[in-house]
Structure 1
Amino acid sequence: MKENAMKNLTLIVLCLSMCIFYACDQKQITSLKIMSYNIRHGEGMDQILDLSRAAEVIKEQGPDLCGLQEIDKDCLRSNKLDQTDYLAQKTQMTGTFGKFMDFDGGEYGMASLSAKPIISTKILHLPDGISEARSAIIHEVEIAKACTIVFVNVHFDWIESEEGIASRLNQAKVLTQYIDSINKPIIISGDFNCSPDSPTMNYFYDQGFEFINKGEDRLSFQGEHKAELDHVIFRNTNHIKIKPKSIYLLEEPIVSDHRPLIAELEVIY
C-alpha cells in the first residue's frame, strides 16, 4: 500500500510540474495595426484645406496606433483649429500633440492617436533640423493585458543636402539613445525623409531594428519627385516578439502629398 501511495504521489507531482511548465511556456498573440500618415496640415493635392478627408481615411482604417506628421495647432493657415483634438474626436482615439515650433500664430508639429491605453508619454526634443525644429512622440502603450510596447512617431529633417543627411542621422542617434533606456519592444513609424538604404536607416539596422519591406509599391511621397520616405521599423526584446503580417500604402492621390502607410503586426508575448 505504501509503495502504491508513493507512486501515486510521484505521479501527481510530475503531472503538476508538467502543467506548471506548460502554462509558463505558453505564449499569447495579439494583433496590432499601425498607421503612419503625413497629412500636410489637411491641405490636399488639389490645394483645398479639408481636414475631414484625412479624418475619414484614418477612421476607415481603424488603426490601433497612428502617427501623424505635419500637424497644426491654432495656426492661421488652418483656420486656428487644434487639428490633434479634431482628429482625436473624429476617430474616437486619444490624441497627443508634439510641438516642433511656434508657427503662423499657433504651433506646428506632429501628433499621435491611440485606441489603446497609454501608460506614459514623452515629447523628446531632437536636434533641430536645418530649417525646422524637431521632436519625437514616445508612448508606452498597453496593447494587451500584461503586454506593453513603446510606440514612437518621428518626422526627421527634410533637407536633401549633405547637411540634411547628417541632421537626420543625428536625430536618429539622439532618439535611439533615449529609447535604449526603455527595456521594451519598440515600434517606430513616421516620415523618416530618407530611403531604406540611407545612412539614417542603416544606423537603425545596426541598432537592432528590423525594416518592414513594402515590396514594389513603396513610393509613399507622391509630390513632384516620388520617393520612399515613410517607414515602420521595430525592435524586439527577449520576451516579446513582433512579427510583420503585411504592410501596404493606400491609394489616396488627393488628401495629402503622402500616401497613408498601414502595417499589420502580430505581437507574441
Structure 2
Amino acid sequence: MSYNIQTGIETRFYHHYLTRGWRHVLPHDSRAGNLERIGEIVRGFDIVGLQEIDAGSLRSGFVNQTGFLAEAAGFPYWHFQTNRRIGRIARHSNGVLSRFRPLEVRAHKLPGMIPGRGALILRFGGPGESLDVVLLHLALGRRARLRQLAYIAELVNRNRHTIVMGDLNCLSDSPELQLLCGHTDLREPLHDLPTYPSWRPRRNIDHILVSSSLKVRSAEVLDYPLSDHLPITMEVVLPPEIVLVG
C-alpha cells in the first residue's frame, strides 16, 4: 500500500485547504482520531509506504506518526526519513511500516532546486535474492521530477526485483514515468487508478510500479477519504527464491 496521509488531516472539500490549512503548522484534537482510523485501514497489509507524515513536531503534538501508526496497526518494523524541517513546527517525512525485517534501509536525498524531497529504500530477503522497496514523494515541478526519476532509475537498476511506490505528482502517461519505465525494468500494471482528490478522484498521481519479475494479482484504490489522497494497494507474488523474514 502507498498512502499520502497529509499528516493526519482529514480533507473532504477544496475549501478545507483554506479552513483547515492552519493544521499543517499547529496541533489539533482530531488528528489523533484520524490517525487511529488510518491505522485500521493499513492493518491488513504487509508493507505500507506513507508520505506527508510528521516525525514529531509541534503540529503533531511531538508524536512520530510513523511510530504511532506502527503501534496502532501492529507493525513490528517501521522506518522514517525526514526530508524537511521547519524548526519545531514541522518535520516533513516519508515512513514505511513492515511486517518483515529489512536487511538494509537507505535514505537518499533527491535532486532539485528546492531541497526537501527524498527516497527511502528498504531491502528484504536473504543474502542471495532480495527485494527492494522504494518509497518516494516527488516534487511539484516537472523539471525537478525528471531529475529525481533519472536519479531513481540508477538506483533501481541495481536490483532486478523492485517495487517503487509513492506520491509521484504525475500521471501514468507523463514524460516522467515514461522516462523511469524506459530506463528500468519497471512497469505499472494498471494505469487508470485515480487517487486525488479523495472526495472526487480524477488524477492518478499515486503509483505502485513493479519489476517484470514480480507477478501482480490485483491493484486497486481504496475509498477511504481520510486525507486529500486515497490509498492505492497492490497484491504482489514474489519469486520463490525471495524469502521474507518476519
Same fold (TM over 0.5): yes
For residue 183 of structure 1, report the CA deviation from its aligned partner: 3.0
Residue number in structure 2 paired with 1:107 = 91
For residue 147 of structure 1, report the CA deviation from its aligned partner: 4.8
Indicate conservation of the 8 Å contact 2:49/2:95, yes or no: yes
For residue 92 of structure 1, report the CA deviation from its aligned partner: 2.0
Gaps of 5+ in 1: 1-34, 159-163
Residue number in structure 1 paired with 2:26 = none
Cα distance change of structure 1 residues 58 and 104 upon mapping to structure 2, 3 Å threshold: farther
Give deviations 1:202-221, integer Å, cap 9, x for gaps: 01120221112154xx2101
Question: Secondary structure at the residue paired with 1:153?
Answer: strand
Number of residue pairs the alignment of both structures matches: 218
Residue number in structure 2 paired with 1:98 = 81
Cα distance change of structure 1 residues 214 and 177 upon mapping to structure 2, 3 Å threshold: closer
Using the TM superposition, name which of 103-112 and 77-86 deviates more: 103-112
Residue number in structure 2 paired with 1:40 = 6
Residue number in structure 2 paired with 1:177 = 154
Indicate conservation of the 8 Å contact 1:77/1:104, yes or no: no
Cα distance change of structure 1 residues 152 and 129 upon mapping to structure 2, 3 Å threshold: farther
For residue 128 of structure 1, report the CA deviation from its aligned partner: 3.3
Equivalents in 1 of 2:155, 2:162: separation in Å? 12
For residue 104 of structure 1, report the CA deviation from its aligned partner: 5.0
Residue number in structure 1 paired with 2:222 = 250
1:193 has 2:193 as partner: no
Structure with the bigger percentage of helix:
1
Equivalents in 2 of 1:175, 1:91: separation in Å? 30
TM-score normalised by structure 1 residue count: 0.75
Question: Secondary structure at the residue paired with 2:227?
Answer: coil
TM-score normalised by structure 2 residue count: 0.82
Specify which of 65, 72, 78 is matched with residue 54 of structure 2: 72
Indicate conservation of the 8 Å contact 1:138/1:153, yes or no: yes
Equivalents in 2 of 1:251, 1:225: separation in Å? 10
Counterpart amino acid of residue 190 in structure 2: N
Cα distance change of structure 1 residues 197 and 65 upon mapping to structure 2, 3 Å threshold: same
Counting only pairs closer than 5 Å after superposition, residues 87-166 of structure 1 correspond to structure 2 as 87-93=69-75, 94-103=77-86, 105=88, 106-128=90-112, 130=114, 133-142=116-125, 147-158=129-140, 164-166=141-143
Give deviations 1:92-142, integer Å, cap 9, x for gaps: 221111111112515211101111120000001111364x51110001012
1:204 has 2:180 as partner: yes
For residue 228 of structure 1, report the CA deviation from its aligned partner: 0.9
Gaps of 5+ in 2: 13-19, 21-29, 241-246
Structure with max Cα Rg? 1
Residue number in structure 1 paired with 2:231 = 260
Question: Secondary structure at the residue paired with 1:268?
Answer: coil
Equivalents in 2 of 1:80, 1:104: separation in Å? 12
Give deviations 1:16-71, integer Å, cap 9, x for gaps: xxxxxxxxxxxxxxxxxxx0000000011255423112111111xx2111110001
Equivalents in 2 of 1:252, 1:104: separation in Å? 32
Indicate conservation of the 8 Å contact 1:87/1:95, yes or no: no
